[in-house]
Every structure is written in structure tokens, then in C-alpha cells.
Amino acid sequence: MASGTALIYDEAMTRHKLLWNDPICDIEVPERLSASYEQLQCYHLVERCIPVPAREGSEEEILLVHSSEHLEAAKSTQAMNEEELKRISGNYDSFFFHPNTYHCARLAVGAALQLVDSVMSGKVCNGMALVRPPGHHSQRNAANGFCLFNNVAIAAEYAKLKYGLQRILIVDWDVHHGQGTQYIFEEDPSVLYFSWHRYEHQEFWPSLKESDYDAVGLGKGKGFNINLPWNKVGMGNSDYLAAFFHVLLPMAFEFDPELVLVSSGYDSGIGDPEGQMNATPEVFAHLTHFLMQLAHGKLCVILEGGYHLRSLSESVCMTVRTLLRDPLPQVTGEMAPCLSAIESIQNVRAAHKPYWKWLTYEDTSFLHNLSTKSDLVKTADTNPCRDDEAKITDSNGTDRIERFLELHMKNIVFPVPPIKTATTELKASADPNTFPVHLHVVKEMDKNELEALVSDFHADLVEANKTLLFLGSTLTILDKILKKEVCSGIAESPAASASVAVALRHSLHFGFQRVLCIFVGDTDIMPSTEDGKILIIHVCKKEQTGKSSSKHYVVLNWKEDADGNDFFSAVLGFILPVAYSYQPNLIIIAVGANRSLGISGISLIIGLLQGLAESRILAVIEDTDINLMQSVAKALAGASMPHFGVHVPPTQEKVNQIKKLRNQLQQDWKMLQCSVNDGI
């Protein structure tokens, strides 16, 4: 399993610059690249990456996407004087040429291809390329929106050709619609393109009808183009996370890509003059983390936009830190998407319903059927999504943004230690090569220390001291996590329920305010959760007699489908949104007897929840299936997810159960909201 993160940066790409006065293009400055790189150095992140040199993309590689006319026109600009450069620039919407532009654009293409080669060859697991000029607006025959060659589109075509890939996901989180990329792949089912973008009912540039949610792709490509328009500014962290939980991730997991490319624009971040959004840098760590659970972690992040230098730089650093598998900082802000975001999410889900199995089973309907979309345009009020925060991003607020970000980044807690997983004597740990990840083996707590710990406030939970012994490994590991000596840990236990009960009480006694416990399998002990300090999600086979779900105790009846993993939609559409709404300080994943989930379902939960609680996860495993232990160890150690095997959609009755729970709990856990029809 490959490891390591590539970083591609070449100072030569700073030599493309605007030579005349143009208020539209003057934000695309060389300092975007140098400031980002300097911030990476400042956080000592450059030295932790594997440096990979840029190279010039060849003409042949550029012709994978662009016409020879476009290539020749671009090439001819190298010898032009300023007046000629200005004239040819006028042929395009929002583009400027400099004598170095052509060379820089070839380096940007080559950097993207170098990144693809580094990942596909296994030299690294993932990486980031800091490039300019950007690419996602450029089209077969035209430069557009600061873009000359479509770096990411060429990278996708290159990967298909050289590595025979058949499923590539492009995630475009830049705040502008990458119409160039859409045009290039709209009939191509081998490339799934997802873009969210400021739209304001077609008011915002490039103001295209085909940027709306109903542009789902053409011909064989239908269903493989996903547009999520933001019809208001001021979108924040919870809106972006909801878009991933309820739109992108279910489709991405069903698509099961072999490689993930990110058109990584940070103008969707707070303070950006173009985006006017409110999402803060740490949200990009979470978005990156989710994408690392796909394609065995093969992820290439390629820079697009981002025009507020400090916001851009901090977001770039958050991305690289996550690629390096550092634990994620807690995401800030109220976990509740705004109404406009939910409307857009609902509409894009409805538009894609005919093309995706997981959606076919979900209950989704258009907010307004297409004929009345014009009403939406009339009713569009231009107020930002959240008035209060939006003030931070008013135009003359640049210095206020600096101050805001200065303070915000100071308050961000970077978890220590970097992901380290502890375990006590696991049967299998004797054989290191069965545990492909480094496990930090800790010695058991000694008996009298244990007795002291247990007797003073767990006595009621522990019968005769026969149960005392197995408590040891759970409490030993938990203590290491609570004391931040390790990030996560695995404890074996012959009675998961009892271990979990003691671990929960111990954590609260230690002072944790919110502990999320996901219990898979049958259990009888369920500690009281009424004070909200514990949230239990109990995944079990059979109906729990007399236990109906409530805000802090959710019962999920799930018997996994025999021939495949149908648990995706429960994790992505339910467990993840509830967990992010709750914002736990500690997560306990317990696997009891007769677990009703496959190993991949359990690994998926761990992999996706690892962004929470600063990656503090305690796994308590009763089922000593060696494959389970191995998968849990890999997931906890941040190794990328195992292959999930065939993806089967859940049965209608399972979906109905999720829908019922979502309706019951979406007022409490607002990240569950994905449609306005349910009378929010």
C-alpha cells in the first residue's frame, strides 16, 4: 500500500502576470503560488512531503483535450509584444497573455501529469500540485476565465490512456463552475464530474444555463455530470459538508472511482473576493479526508482558483496536512445547512434520481418542477445565506479578513500526536506482517491499578472480579487516548457491552462532554444518555423490544445484504450527518456478538468518522475475527479503505427506515436535512 504525499511546486509558474490594467484579471497574481508555498514552509509541511518536479506538458499531451488551432494560437503568443498580447487576450472571456504564459501553462499541465504518474506508479499515495494558470474554464478551442489549458481534464485523459483507467472522479470545489471540464466530459461516462459553484440563479459568472442542477450530462454521459449551484453567497462549512453527505459521496461510492482528481479552487473559502462565501480553511481538511476514502486513497489535488492570499494559503495547508494523514482539526460553525443550500441539494438529487441506484431508493422530489424554475429566479433575494457572518467578507474588509483568519487559525487545535494506534497484546500482533500498519503496543494496566480504578466508580458495572481482567485492555487503551498519548486504539473484550459501559462512564468522568458510541451487534447494556453527553447509535439485526429511537439513542436495524455492501447509504446519509451534527470529543466503535455488518461497513464507519473528535477513536472488539481486527487496525491507522466489493443498493424497507429516522431526528441533528419538502 503506497504511502507518502507528493508536492509539486515550481517558481517558474510565477512568471505569468498581467501587463496592463484589467480589473477582472488582476486578482490572478503570481503571489498566489509563492504565498501558498511559503505558508506550507512556515508550517513545516514542505519537508514532510515528497518533492516531485514539474515538467512541461508535451504538445501531444495538450492535444488530448485541446485543438491544434488552440495550441498554435497559445504557442504564437511567446514572441508577441504587449500590444499584440493585449489584442489576442481580447479574443477570450477574462484571460490575459504574457510572453511567459505559454511556458507556464505547459508547466501547469506537466505538473498535473507528474502528479498522476507519482500516484499511479505507487511512488506516493496522494499529492498536491500548486500550479498557475488554472485550468477548469478552458475549453477545447478557447482560453477562458484565467485558464489556458485544462490541466485537470488533460490529467484525466492522460490517466485513461496511460493506465487504462475506466472510472475517474473529478471533484471541483472551486467557487466557479468549471464549464470547460463539463464540456469536455459531458458525454463521457468514464469521468464523473462534480462541481459546486456560486450561481445566484444564473446571475454569477459565467452565467450559463448549463451550470444549473439539471445539466446531468449528455448521451452515454447522462448522470455523470453533477452541478450543485449555490443560489446565495455566504455558504459555510455545514453547507459544504451537507453537499458531500447527501450528493457527492453517495454517488462517488457507487461510482467507485479508480482515481480521484480535485480541481482544487479555494475561492470557495472565506474572504475570497470572488466567492463571497464563509467556509473556513479547516473544512477543506474534512473534504479532502472524505475523498481519501475512495480509490484506495489515490488522490491528486490540483490548484485552480483562490484570490485571498491568506485564506488561500491556510486552506492549501489544511489540504496538505490531511493528505499527510494528520488528524483533522474540529470543523467550526453551527452544523446546520441553510435553506437555500438544502433547496439546491434537493434539486440536484432529484435531477440525478434516474441515474443512480442509491437515489432510486431515496425519496427525492424536485423542489419546484422545472417549469416553475423561473419563479425561483423571480423570488431570488440576493441577501447572503447568513447575514451576520457575511459581513466578514465585505469588499473593503480585506484587513478584517486577515484579522479574522489570524484569530481563527490561532483557535484551531491541531491534535497531537499524529495518528498513532495503540493496542494491547493482540493475538495477531505477534505476526507483524499481518498488521500492515504500525501498532503501538501498550502493556496492560496492572491488576491493583485496575482494581483501584474500577472499584471507586465502576463497581456497580462489574460483577465478581472475573470481569475485571478483560476491562484492563479497554481502560488501558482508553487512558492512553484520554491522556493524548495516542490518537486511537483497539481493545479486545469478551464482553463488549460491559467494556463499553465502563469506557463511557470513564470518559465522562474524565470530563468529556460528548461521546459518540456506535455499537454494532447485540447488546443489553445501554447506559443512560439523557444528559446528552452520550449519543448511541445501535446497529443491530433485530428490533430492540420496547426501545424506540430518540435524540441520543438511535436504533438502526440492519442486516447486511448477503452479496454486497448496502450499508453505504446508512453511513453516508445517516450516521455521518448525525455524527457531524453532534461534534463528539471521543468516538467509541464497539463490535459485539452477532455483528450485523460486514467488515467493510465497519471500516467505512471508522474511515469516514475519523475526521471527528480529532481522530480520537476507541475500538472495542468482542468478535476476534482476525480479518476484522486487521481491517479495524488499518482504518484506525489512517490507511486507506479496503475495497468495498460490489455495491448493492439497500432494500426499500431499509431506505424507509432511514427516511423515518431522518424525519424523526432532523430537527435535532440538522445535518440530516436534504430536502425542504419534509416541512422543515
Ligand X SMILES: CC(O)(O)CCCCCNCCCN
Per partner kind, with CB cut-offs from 5 to 8 A, the member of ligand X, Zn ion, none near residue 146 is: ligand X
Decide whether 205 or 355 has the Cβ nearer to ligand X. 205
Decide whether 268 or 640 has the Cβ nearer to ligand X. 268
Burial state string for 402-425 with b = 16 or more CB within 10 A and e = fewer than 16 = eebbeebbeebeebeeebbbbbbe
Binding-site size for ligand X (CB under 6 A) equals 13
Site string for ligand X, 21-50 (x = CB under 6 A): ---x--------------------------
CB-CB neighbours of 460 under 10 Å: 8
Catalytic site residue from 98, 136, 137, 289: 137
The single residue among 183, 205, 470, 510 that binds ligand X, judged by CB under 6 A, is 205
Judged by CB under 6 A, the chain residues 157 through 176 that form the site for ligand X are 174, 176
- Asked if 581 and 669 count as a contact pair (C-beta separation under 8 A), the reply is yes
Tell whether residue 19 is a contact of ligand X (CB under 6 A).
no
Burial state string for 543-557 with b = 16 or more CB within 10 A and e = fewer than 16 = ebeeeebebbbbbbe
Find all residues with CB under 8 Å of 45, minimum gap 6, and list them. 7, 317, 320, 321, 324
Catalytic status, residue 137: yes
Q: State residue 172 phi and psi, 5-degree precision.
A: -115, 95
Between helices 447-458 and 468-482, what is the axis angle to 10°? 90
Between helices 496-510 and 468-482, what is the axis angle to 10°? 40
- Asked if 136 and 152 count as a contact pair (C-beta separation under 8 A), the reply is yes
Judged by CB under 6 A, the chain residues 87 through 106 that form the site for ligand X are 94
The least distance separating ligand X from the CB of residue 273, rounded to whole angstroms, comes to 10
Judged by CB under 6 A, the chain residues 471 through 530 that form the site for ligand X are none
The single residue among 9, 92, 97, 146 that binds ligand X, judged by CB under 6 A, is 146
CB-CB neighbours of 495 under 10 Å: 17
Decide whether 94 or 398 has the Cβ nearer to ligand X. 94
Site string for ligand X, 290-329 (x = CB under 6 A): --------------xx------------------------
Per partner kind, with CB cut-offs from 5 to 8 A, the member of Zn ion, ligand X, none near residue 205 is: ligand X
Site string for ligand X, 111-140 (x = CB under 6 A): -----------------------x--x---
Q: Give the footprint of Zn ion on this chain (CB under 5 A).
A: 174, 176, 265, 267, 305
The least distance separating ligand X from the CB of residue 170, rounded to whole angstroms, comes to 14
Q: How far apart are CA 218 and CA 665, in angstroms?
A: 38
DSSP H or E segment with residue 538: strand 534-540
Per partner kind, with CB cut-offs from 5 to 8 A, the member of ligand X, Zn ion, none near residue 24 is: ligand X
Q: How far apart are CA 575 and CA 459, in angstroms?
A: 32
Tell whether residue 145 is a contact of ligand X (CB under 6 A).
yes
The least distance separating ligand X from the CB of residue 150, rounded to whole angstroms, comes to 11
Q: How far apart are CA 276 and CA 401, in angstroms?
A: 12
Residue of this chain nearest to ligand X (CB atom) = 305
Decide whether 94 or 429 has the Cβ nearer to ligand X. 94
Per partner kind, with CB cut-offs from 5 to 8 A, the member of ligand X, Zn ion, none near residue 384 is: none
Phi-psi category of 70—alpha, beta or left, where left has phi over 0 and alpha has psi -120 to 50?
Answer: alpha
Q: State residue 617 phi and psi, 5-degree precision.
A: -130, 130
Per partner kind, with CB cut-offs from 5 to 8 A, the member of Zn ion, ligand X, none near residue 389 is: none
Positions touching ligand X (CB under 6 A) are 24, 94, 134, 137, 145-146, 174, 176, 205, 265, 267, 304-305
Question: Which sequence positions are flagged as catalytic?
Answer: 137
